[in-house]
Every structure is written in structure tokens, then in C-alpha cells.
Amino acid sequence: MKTVSVIVQISVKKNFNNDKMNDIYRQAAIKYLAGFIDDARKNPGCLYLDLLQDDNNVDELCLVEQWESKAVLDEHISSPYFQTVSSFLAEYAGLIQIRHMTKIY
């Protein structure tokens, strides 16, 4: 069975003309995503799930995930915590790009 990797690029919205408020907004998004990651990592089919931040743009985040199989990933996507984070990202993220990838080498 092939593992499935997922890369989710998230651009955090900038909703304020104030850098301090944008920092608070970004930190709230990171804190929320950390809670989501903690829940998702409890899934026995989750091989890894990490949150990365761009070194040159702190508003650019990336989730890097690997799952045992597509069936396990599909179960994760239909979970209540995934549905909750999807709603959250609709408010906090300006742009989201999701890529499902398979290791070939």
C-alpha cells in the first residue's frame, strides 16, 4: 500500500493596518493549527504532520503530512476536527493550496 503525502500551503490573511494586530492574528492561527495537529497526530494512520513557517515571510505557513494510505487520509478529511479547521481556515487564510502527492523514489 502506498503512503500519501499532503502539502498544504496557507497564506495567513492580513486584516489590519497595524503590524501588532496582524501578529496577534497570525499567532492565533498558529495556535489553532497546533491544536488541530495534536488531534490529527493521534490518528494511527498519521505517519507525520508538521507545521512549517517560511523563513522570509512569517505569514506563509505549510502543513506537511504523510498518511499510511488514501483510505486513512479520507477518514482524516471526514473527521470532525478536520471540518472544524476547514471552517477556521476559511476565515484566517487568504490563500490555501492543497497538493496530494505520492512518493515515487
Residue 46 sits in a domain whose CATH number is 3.30.70.100
For 77, the domain range is 4-101
Average pLDDT over residues 35-61: 94
- State the chain's mean pLDDT as an integer: 89
Q: Which pLDDT does position 97 carry in this prediction?
A: 92
Q: Which phi-psi region, left, alpha or beta, contains residue 49 (left: φ > 0; alpha: ψ -120 to 50)? A: beta
Percent of the chain with pLDDT over 70: 98
**Number of domains present in the structure of the chain:** 1
Rounded to the nearest angstrom, the gap between the alpha carbon of residue 67 and the centroid of all alpha carbons in its chain is 14
Interatomic CA distance for residues 79 and 74, integer angstroms: 9
C-alpha grid cell, residue 105: 523514489
What pLDDT does residue 55 have? Answer: 97
The Cα 77–Cα 60 span in angstroms is 22
Task: Give the predicted TM-score (pTM) of the model.
Answer: 0.87
Strongest mean pLDDT among 8-22, 51-65, 89-103: 51-65
